[in-house]
């Protein structure tokens, strides 16, 4: 069965400047637990643009701990990316109050993102990789992903339709190419700019996706994300 990852306060943070009350987070986590959602990406960990963003853009360890202690059955994680990553922000996964780190990159930064993934893996973090702007993946990008030891490090490889423009046929082609180069756990992150988020997410599930992303009320940029109310209205499993 395909798992679900909620990124309401991470991707939705673009709409709130990553400001959320503790009460909102605790209520959201309770709701996610009740819906048996597997992963919750609470925010970014980017010690960057300090004093310009809300706390869930940075996700300092002391902030995360109080939520981690009450996360229930959720696997709680953060996102970083090639532009903002600094290895000193991630000390040791055995002592950090996060269960996974998702590394996001555009196709031209895949090489850098794989080095980041290796760094995090060596520090005992569970690593996901999110490939953004997947409509611009080229043969050279697939070769980078195939030729490195990434497959033994990356727990889930995410395909992100960053601008909400992909068609189901295009998604199927990319998904199958990732399967062909050896990735077993493939996730999908939709945006709804052209009202294709639900359709594409259901296609990803049909293809055998390990997980898909959702947000509360579809909050997010580029038309928003897949709303879990919309998803659950058509998918009862």
Residues 6+ apart with CB under 8 A from 95: none
Q: Is the pLDDT reported for residue 50 higher than 80?
A: no
Q: Which residues pair with 39 in a beta bridge?
A: 5, 75
Rg of the Cα trace of the chain?
17
Q: Is the pLDDT reported for residue 76 higher than 90?
A: yes
Half-sphere exposure of 133 (CA within 13 A, CB side): 11
Residue 2 has what pLDDT? 96
Rounded CA-CA distance 129/106 in Å is: 11
pTM (predicted TM-score): 0.95
- Of residues 106 and 237, more confidently modeled: 106
Model confidence at 148, pLDDT cuts 50, 70, 90, reads confident
Structure tokens at 206: 């049909």
Model confidence at 237, pLDDT cuts 50, 70, 90, reads low
Query: Which one-letter DSSP state was computed for residue 94?
Result: T
Tell me the per-residue pLDDT of 176-231, one tens digit each, with 9 for 90 and over.
999 999 999 999 999 999 999 999 999 999 999 999 999 998 888 877 899 988 99
Q: CATH for 3-234, among 3.20.20.70, 2.40.50.100, 3.90.950.10, 2.160.10.10? A: 3.20.20.70
């Amino acid at each position: 069965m395909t798992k679900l990852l909620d990124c309401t306060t991470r991707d939705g943070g673009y709409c709130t400047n990553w400001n959320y009350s503790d009460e909102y987070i605790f209520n959201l986590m309770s709701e996610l637990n009740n819906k048996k959602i597997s992963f919750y990406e609470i925010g970014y960990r980017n010690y960057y643009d300090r004093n310009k963003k809300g706390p869930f853009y940075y996700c300092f360890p002391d902030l995360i701990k109080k939520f981690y202690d009450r996360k229930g059955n959720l696997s709680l994680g953060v996102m970083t990316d090639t532009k903002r990553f600094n290895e000193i922000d991630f000390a040791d996964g055995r002592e950090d109050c996060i269960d996974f780190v998702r590394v996001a990159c555009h196709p031209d930064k895949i090489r850098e993102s794989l080095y980041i993934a290796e760094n995090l893996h060596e520090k005992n973090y569970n690593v996901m990789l999110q490939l953004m702007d997947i409509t611009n993946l080229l043969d050279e990008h697939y070769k980078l992903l195939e030729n490195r030891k990434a497959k033994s490090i990356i727990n889930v490889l995410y395909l992100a339709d960053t601008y909400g423009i992909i068609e189901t046929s295009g998604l199927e082609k990319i998904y199958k190419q990732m399967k062909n180069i050896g990735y077993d756990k493939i996730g999908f992150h939709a945006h709804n700019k052209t009202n294709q988020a639900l359709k594409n997410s259901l296609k990803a599930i049909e293809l055998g996706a390990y997980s898909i992303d959702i947000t509360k009320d579809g909050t997010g940029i580029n038309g928003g994300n897949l709303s879990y109310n919309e998803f659950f209205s058509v998918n009862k499993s």
